[in-house]
Each structure stands twice: as C-alpha cells, then as structure tokens.
Chains A and B, each alone.
Chain A
Amino acid sequence: QLQLQESGPGLVKPSETLSLTCSVSGVSISNSDYYWAWIRQPPGKGLEWIGTIYYSGETFYSPSLKSRPTLSVDTSRNQFSLNLTSVTAADTAVYYCARIRGLGGTLHLDSWGQGIRVPVSS
C-alpha cells in the first residue's frame, strides 16, 4: 500500500532555508510511471503547487516562487525533498508531498501525505 510521509523541522526562522523530506513506501520512487510533487496550503488560503520532480531529476517549478525552491530525489532512500530558501512569514503553511499519476494522459495527484505544518517565525 502506497504511503507518503513528510518530515522536517517544526519551526524555521525568517531568511533561513526550509528543508522537507517525503518518505515513500509501497512503490519505488524510480518507477518510471510516476512523478512526485510538493504542494502547500497557507493558513486560511488555498492550495499552491510548488514543484514536480521525476526520478531522473527532471524538475518543474512554480514561477511565483521565483527560483527559491529546489526539489531533489534520493532513490537509494526512496525519498524526495524540498529546499525553499530565504523564507518569510508568507511561507508559513501546511506542506504536502504527493504522487503524480497519469503519464500518457491527464496527470493528477492520486496519493498525498498527511501534510506537515511549518511555521516561519523568529
């Protein structure tokens, strides 16, 4: 059974780098049928797509985050990660990792982690 679990710090200070990891179980992250993604939801706001990564390292990012995010894959650990630099209070959010399915058709986020709440505060 597929499971995704986010992990990371409980608090990040302004101007620092937010680093999160998504541990995947039940499927190999190297499976060529899937992409992997990070999405976030600030308090009281809607969902925001952050970026997408393929096991090969191919990445796509939200232009609204202005080159601050970096996604990476660790196939040996079956994990993928998000680094978000120069954070501000506006980056306070629940961060979700998710699997993307549907290659050859309409891509969609078919499985999500529970989410991790990350406040940015001094």
Chain B
Amino acid sequence: DIQMTQSPSSLSASIGDRVTISCRASHSISNYVNWYQLKPGRAPKLLISGASSLESGVPSRFSGSGSGTDFALTISSLHPEDFATYYCQQSYSTQWTFGQGTKVEI
C-alpha cells in the first residue's frame, strides 16, 4: 500500500490568510495526487487533479504543487466558504489511499 501522510490534521486561520496543507507519499507517485474538499452534509468536491490541475469552476485561490513524494494544497486567501476538511488522495496504484484529512477552522 502507498501511505499518504497529511499535515497538519487541523489548523486555525482567519479570513484572508494564506494556508498550505502538506501531503507526503510513502513511495514516489509522480503527479498522481488529487485534492478534495468535504463539508458536512454535502457531496465531496474535487479541487485539484494531477497534483496541480485546477478543476473547472474551482476558484483560482486554490492551487496544488509537488511531484514524487511531497505535495501541497495552497489557498492563497481564505474565504468564509473555505472552512472545511481537505483530503489528498493518490491514484498511482490500483489500490487508492487518502490522507488523514486537514480540518481548516476559524
């Protein structure tokens, strides 16, 4: 199995802050990383695919970076609707795995 270690598990931030969430893979996985946003009671939302490709309709304040084993999701300026939990996920192997999640709180 490829393990995805996400950090931090939670963070407190304010509107307008720049936020970065990290994700480290246990093996090199090229750019096979996706990022999702989860809010209670709502369908999860794809933000970034292929480590850095912004999904259509996702605000440009979201960006992804990294390759190999180290990846990051950055929100350049937090908006109120961005308070949620974020997950990285690898699709390099046929056995997919998610990171543990990062809860972004006020």
Report the separation of the CA atoms of residues A86 and B87 in the bound assembly, to the nearest whole angstrom: 29
- Interface contact A47-B98, CB-CB below 8 Å: yes
For the complex, is A105 an interface residue (Cβ under 8 Å from B)? yes
- Interface contact B91-A107, CB-CB below 8 Å: yes
Report the separation of the CA atoms of residues A104 and B60 in the bound assembly, to the nearest whole angstrom: 25
Residues of A within 8 A of B36 (CB): 47, 109
A interface footprint on B9-45 (CB within 8 Å = 1, 0 otherwise): 0000000000000000000000111101010001111
- Interface contact B101-A96, CB-CB below 8 Å: no
For the complex, is B49 an interface residue (Cβ under 8 Å from A)? yes
For the complex, is A79 an interface residue (Cβ under 8 Å from B)? no
Chain B, interface size category, equals 20 to 34
Across the two chains, which residue of chain A brings its CB closest to B91?
A107
- List, sorted by A's number, 15 A–B pairs whose CB atoms are closer than 8 Å: A46-B99, A47-B98, A49-B89, A49-B97, A60-B95, A64-B1, A96-B44, A102-B91, A106-B33, A107-B32, A108-B34, A108-B49, A108-B89, A110-B55, A114-B42
Instruction: Tell me the total A-B contact number using a CB cutoff of 8 A.
Output: 69
Q: How many residues of A contact B (CB 8 A)?
A: 25
Interface residues of B (CB under 8 A from A): 1, 31-34, 36, 38, 42-46, 49-51, 53, 55, 87, 89, 91, 94-101
Residues of B within 8 A of A107 (CB): 32, 91
- Interface contact A63-B1, CB-CB below 8 Å: yes
- Interface contact B87-A60, CB-CB below 8 Å: no
Residues of A within 8 A of B45 (CB): 112
Residues of B within 8 A of A98 (CB): 44
Report the separation of the CA atoms of residues A62 and B96 in the bound assembly, to the nearest whole angstrom: 7
